[in-house]
Copies of this chain bind each other. A is one copy, B any other.
Amino acid sequence: MALIVQKYGGSSVADPERIRNVARRVATTASGEGRGSGHQMVVVVSAMGKTTDGLVELAHRIAPSPEPREMDMLLATGEQVTIALLAMALHALGFKARSFTGPQVGMVTDRAHTKARITTIRGERVRRALDEGEIAVVAGFQGLSDEDEVTTLGRGGSDLTAVALAAALRADVCEIYTDVDGVYTADPNIVPDARKLARVAYDEMLEMASLGAKVLQARSVEFAKKYAVPIHVRSTFKPEGGTLVTTEERSMEAAVVTGITHDPSQAKISILRVPDRPGIAARVFGAVAERSIVVDMIVQNISRDGYTDISFTVPRGDHARAATALDEIAREVGALGIVHDERVAKVSIVGVGMRSHSGVAARMFATLSKEAINIQMISTSEIAVSCVIEDKYAELAVRALHDAFELAREPVRSA
C-alpha cells in the first residue's frame, strides 16, 4: 500500500460534474486501480474554475487596493468550497473522506499575505485521517501564519501545497493532474513528432519551467527537488501515465538533450556604449525592477575602450515601459542610447546530459545557421543553452533542433 498525493487544478473541478469525475478518479486509485491493494490518499484541490478571479473582482468592486490580509481571508474561501464538495462526492461513492483547510492541515507559513512561504507543516490531522482509512481532501494554496492568520501562497500555490504535503508525509509520489498529459521533448503543437518524456530530472524541469514550458511552476519543482519528492505530471482526462519528474539517474545521461523549449513573446533591449564603471548595471536593472518588470536573459560582453553594451530581454507586454525607463537611464549614465526590438523569441535546448558532452552548443549554432537563422543573443547554464532569434523563425528553429538532436527517437538507455 502506497501513500499517494494527488492535485487537481481549477479546470479539473470547475463544476459539479467534473468534481464527481475527479471523485471517481480518486476512488479508482484509492481502491487500487483494479490491481492489488488500495492506497492511502491525500487529494489537494484548487478553487472551482474561475472562482478566484471572481473573488478578486468582487474585492476590487469594494476597494481599489484591498488589504492583503483581507484578500487572503476572501480568496481562501474558494478552495474551501471545493474540498467540501469533493468530500461529499467521495462519500456518495461509498468512500470515507474528510476535508481540511490549509490551517487545519497545519500548513504554517510566514506572514507575507498573498505570497506566503511555507515554514513548517504539522501534518498530524492528515496522518490521523489516513490512519483511520479516510481519504484526506486538502485545500491547496492556503496556510496559516504563526499569528493564526489565514495566508495564501501566491501563483502555483496549490501545486506547492501538494508537493509540500507529499514531502511532509513522505508520500511515495505526488501526482499533479493538469490539462496536458505530461512533459514533451518540444511543444507538440509545433513539432508533430514531439515525444512525451517518461522521466525528466528536477534540474531539467526547472530549466524548462523558467524557459517557458508551462506545466509546473519552478517554485514547486525546487521544493520537490529539495525534499526528493517524485512528481508525476499527468492528465485529468486521460488514464495513461504522464511524466515523472525525479532525481537524475545514470540512464538519463544517454540523451544529451532532453527537450527544446521556446518563449515566442519576448522583447530585446540594448543600451549601447555604456561607460564600463561599477554600479552602472545596478542602476539599469534597478530602474527596470522598480517598474516590477521581470528581466529574463541578460548579456554583457567584454568592454572595449572603457565602454560596453548591455542587452536583456523582457516579456513583450512590458517592452514599451522598459524602453521608456531605459531611455532616461541611458542619458543619465552617458550611454550612446538604446535600441530595442519587440519581435524576438528565445529558443533553448535543455538536458542534464550536456554536462558531460562537449560540442552541444556548437551543434545548436550549426543547426540554426543551416536554416539561415541569425543568433542575436546567447546565454548558457550548466544544463541549457538559449538563443534569442527573430521571432518569425522560432517554430522553424524548434523543429530543426528537435531533428538535429534526434529527440523523436527514444534514447538508448545505458544500464
Q: How far is the CA of A327 from the CA of B56 in the complex (A)?
A: 57
Does A61 make an interface contact (CB < 8 A)? yes
Contact A80 B89, CB 8 Å, known A16-B61, A20-B62, A62-B20: no
Partner of A92, one of B62, B76, B83: B62
Chain B hits for A104, CB < 8 A: 148
Asked if B84 and A99 sit within 8 Å, CB to CB, the answer is no
A78-114, CB < 8 A from B: 80-81, 83-85, 87-89, 91-92, 98-99, 101, 104
Please give me the residue from chain B that is nearest to A59 by CB atom. Answer: B88
Q: Which residues of B contact A76 (CB under 8 A)?
A: 80
Nearest CB in chain B: distance from A209 CB, A: 32
Across the interface, do B77 and A62 meet the contact criterion of CB distance under 8 Å? no
Total copies of this chain within the assembly? 2
A14 within 8 A of B: no
Contact B77 A89 (CB under 8 A): no
A98 to B113, CA, bound (A): 14
Given contacts A59-B84, A148-B104, contact A92 B64 (CB under 8 A): yes
Q: How far is the CA of A111 from the CA of B148 in the complex (A)?
A: 22
Question: Nearest 7 A-B pairs (CB), nearest first?
Answer: A74-B84, A77-B77, A73-B84, A16-B61, A63-B92, A63-B88, A66-B88
Q: Which residues of A line the B interface, CB within 8 A?
A: 16, 19-20, 55, 58-59, 61-64, 66-67, 69-71, 73-74, 76-77, 80-81, 83-85, 87-89, 91-92, 98-99, 101, 104, 125, 148, 150
CB<8 Å pairs between A and B, sample of 11: A16-B58, A58-B81, A59-B84, A63-B92, A64-B92, A67-B87, A70-B87, A74-B85, A80-B80, A101-B150, A104-B148
